[in-house]
Amino acid sequence: MLGWLFASPADRRLLGGGRLRGPTPWVIAIMSFSIFIIAATGLALAHTAGLLSSAIQARYSVEVPGGSSNLDVILRTVRSAPGVASAEAVPEREMRKTLERWLGPAAASPDLPVPALVNFDVKPGVDLGEIGRRVAAAAPTATISAHRETVKPLLKSLRVLQWVAFGLVLMLSAAAAAAVVLAARGALDTHRSTIEVMHGVGATDLQVTHLFQRKIAIDAFVGSVAGAATAALVLLLLTAGAAFAGELVGGATLGPGDFLVLLLLPLALTGLATWVARAAVLAALRRAL
Amino acid sequence: MALVGILGFKARKEQTLEAVAEFDSVGLRYGTGGEVLRDLDFRLANGGFYFLTGPSGAGKTSLLKLLYVAQRPTRGRIRLFGEELTEAPRDALPAYRRRIGVVFQDFRLIRHLSAFDNVALPLRVAGASEEEVEGPVREMLAWVGLADRASARPPTLSGGEQQRVAIARAVINRPDILVADEPTGNVDAEMAKRLLHLFTALNRLGTTVVVATHDIGLISATPGAQLIRLENGSVVDPTGALKNPPASHNKGGS
């Protein structure tokens, strides 16, 4: 099935010239670079959305606007309610520290009202109404909100971005395929006289096709691996830079399956280019005679 | 060395096939133009030697293209080696082409390949191993006087040398039909004589030879050969000898 990859030296001489000449490896490398970056971004978004979604699925908050002096009472009330797996109060200083990122030193002002907050996780099938009644008895102004509702718009945006990334990968793959078709047609034009002679001495279309298919497969493999390797390096540098700056840590991440997908991308691109080249050459040859 | 030894030829055994090629009401046109060949009705006897003559533009090269399966007729029927070719699927054509050696007027050598690789091409295409290729190709190159130019590429060869490489390539595969388009156009008298000797030797071994030429000397030096004269795209055959050719005059042996 892959015998065409292992051409004899005589067959390799038939198309003349060296490998990696012409624009094909470069075009494929650029496409591979772009596809790798976009695919990595899309996969990271998908992975992060999944992690976020599962982490907040059972998480709720009790919020007392304007703060509360009896935070410990609320915390105990929540912990003792049936179906609550865990609960923890968010200290005021931590909330002010979070607000400081947006408000600056003003976040430390005692004039800024900071709500009292207790986060809790529930077990499946819990009666939230019972928890609400107990909390209301301890703090009448308290409200309970589900994290998944708060984060829903963000998750939706992440999903949309993930599909946009997937669409871009498909479009770039189609562009790479189109570039290969042009390269194959160019190669056929360049080697038209050789093809005529080969046909004249009894070569089959497949024998001729295998020569071009092999040449383009090698170009595509080298180009796609080089592009993907460069993209991986760029992503590593960006990640390292972000970690050094203290940003994005704990943000977008890739799962083990995602790394596998990224590793397979250059091979998939090579496979696509090879298949497209084969189809383009065979179609062009069949138009003759 | 004799050609028989070089190619490992053996005289073909008595063959039942009388005609290697049969043209019935064949016409050919390119695109939407008028017919360049029309109403071709003739047969090539197995083992025959034919000269294709006629004025320039009469359609000799087009007829040869039909014969070496580079074109399909636009009407009529062609049978090659006893099999219907006109409607044969594309995938079946290479098998016919491997049985036909062609010497093109413009040589059609692959410029970036050595003389050795050019001559070896038909054998390699047919699936011969490098061990099977090496000996016959070296001997064939020696026979056409190019043993020391085996690694030379066509642009570095003279016209005559290129012609000899082209001829070596055409006969290396022991073809059943040898088609040559003006083969002596680029060679000197001595080489033309050697080529004719090669063609007649091949013919004696059973190969049907068709040579398109204006060279009267070549024709007159080949007694027993038949003439196919083309005029305005039609074969001139007043006696009907080409339509019902005599039985093969294959003598066998060398």
Say yes or no: A13 contacts chain B, CB-CB below 8 A. Answer: yes
Mean pLDDT of chain A: 85
Which of A117, A140, A163 is the endpoint of a domain? A140
| Distance in angstroms (rounded) separating the CA atoms of residues B85 and B24 | 12
Q: Are residues A93 and A21 in the same domain?
A: no
- Least Cα distance to A58 among A136, A128, A115, A154 occurs for A128
Residue A78 sits in which domain range?
66-140
What is the number of domains present in chain A? 2
Residues B112, A8: C-beta atoms closer than 8 Å: no
Q: Is residue A59 part of a domain?
A: no
> How are beta strands B49-53 and B226-231 bridged, if at all?
parallel
Alpha helices in chain A (DSSP H): 9-14, 24-56, 71-80, 92-103, 128-138, 147-190, 192-200, 205-245, 256-287
Say yes or no: A53 contacts chain B, CB-CB below 8 A. Answer: no
Q: Are residues A100 and A220 in the same domain?
A: no
Q: Is residue A272 part of a domain?
A: yes
Residues B125, A207: C-beta atoms closer than 8 Å: yes
Q: Is residue A104 part of a domain?
A: yes
Q: Are residues A42 and A167 in the same domain?
A: yes
The answer to whether B47 and B203 are in contact (CB under 8 A) is yes
Contacts of A203 in chain B (CB under 8 A): 94, 125
Q: Is the pLDDT of residue A246 over 50?
A: no
Query: A with B: how many residue pairs have Cβ under 8 Å apart?
Result: 63
**In a structure prediction context, what are the per-residue pLDDT tens digits for chain B, which is 254 residues long?**
555 555 555 444 445 568 899 999 999 999 888 899 999 999 999 999 999 998 888 899 999 999 999 999 999 999 999 899 888 898 899 999 999 999 988 889 999 999 999 999 999 999 899 999 999 999 999 988 899 999 999 999 988 889 889 989 999 988 999 999 888 777 777 778 878 888 888 898 889 999 998 888 888 888 888 889 999 888 887 666 676 655 544 444 33
List of domains in chain B? 17-109+174-236 (3.40.50.300)
Q: Are residues A178 and A92 in the same domain?
A: no
Contacts of B93 in chain A (CB under 8 A): 289
Q: Are residues A115 and A44 in the same domain?
A: no
Give the model confidence (pLDDT) of A177-216 as tens digits.
999 999 888 888 888 889 999 999 999 999 999 988 888 8
Q: Are residues A251 and A191 in the same domain?
A: yes
Report residue B214 as tokens. 């204006």
Q: Is residue A148 part of a domain?
A: no
Report residue B185 as tokens. 């156009």
Residues B124, A16: C-beta atoms closer than 8 Å: no
- Least Cα distance to B211 among B102, B106, B108, B107 occurs for B102
Q: Nearest CA of chain A to the CA of B88: how many Å?
A: 12
First-to-last C-alpha distance (Å) of chain B: 13
Q: Which residue of A has its CA nearest to B74?
A: A289
Q: Which of residues 186-245 of A touch B (CB under 8 A)?
A: 193-194, 196-205, 207
Q: Are residues A180 and A245 in the same domain?
A: yes
Report the 10 Å Cβ neighbour count for A57: 13
- Tell me what pLDDT residue A289 has: 55
Q: Is residue A60 part of a domain?
A: no
Q: Are residues A38 and A73 in the same domain?
A: no
Which residues have a Cβ under 8 Å from the Cβ of A87 and sit 6 or more positions away?
Answer: A75, A78, A79, A118, A119, A120, A121
The answer, yes or no, to whether ipTM is higher than 0.85 is no
Q: Is the pLDDT of residue A244 over 90?
A: no
Residues B91, A205: C-beta atoms closer than 8 Å: yes
Q: Are residues A164 and A189 in the same domain?
A: yes
Q: Nearest CA of chain A to the CA of B60: how many Å?
A: 18
Q: Are residues A94 and A189 in the same domain?
A: no
- Tell me what pLDDT residue B245 has: 59
Q: Are residues A205 and A229 in the same domain?
A: yes
- Tell me what pLDDT residue A106 has: 83
The answer to whether A127 and A115 are in contact (CB under 8 A) is no
Q: Is residue A130 part of a domain?
A: yes
Q: Which residue of B has its CA nearest to A17?
A: B112
Q: Are residues A203 and A84 in the same domain?
A: no
- Of A194, A198, A205, which has the smallest distance from its Cβ to B125's Cβ? A198
- Tell me what pLDDT residue A91 has: 85
| Distance in angstroms (rounded) separating the CA atoms of residues A45 and A168 | 14
For residue A66, give the 3-state DSSP assignment.
coil
- pTM higher than 0.90, yes or no? no
Which of A140, A173, A205 is the endpoint of a domain? A140
Q: Nearest CA of chain B to the CA of A13: how many Å?
A: 7
Q: Is residue A234 part of a domain?
A: yes
Which of A115, A140, A165 is the endpoint of a domain? A140
Q: Is the pLDDT of residue A248 over 70?
A: no
Across A25-48, average pLDDT: 91
Q: Is residue A147 part of a domain?
A: no
Alpha helices in A201-255 (DSSP H): 205-245
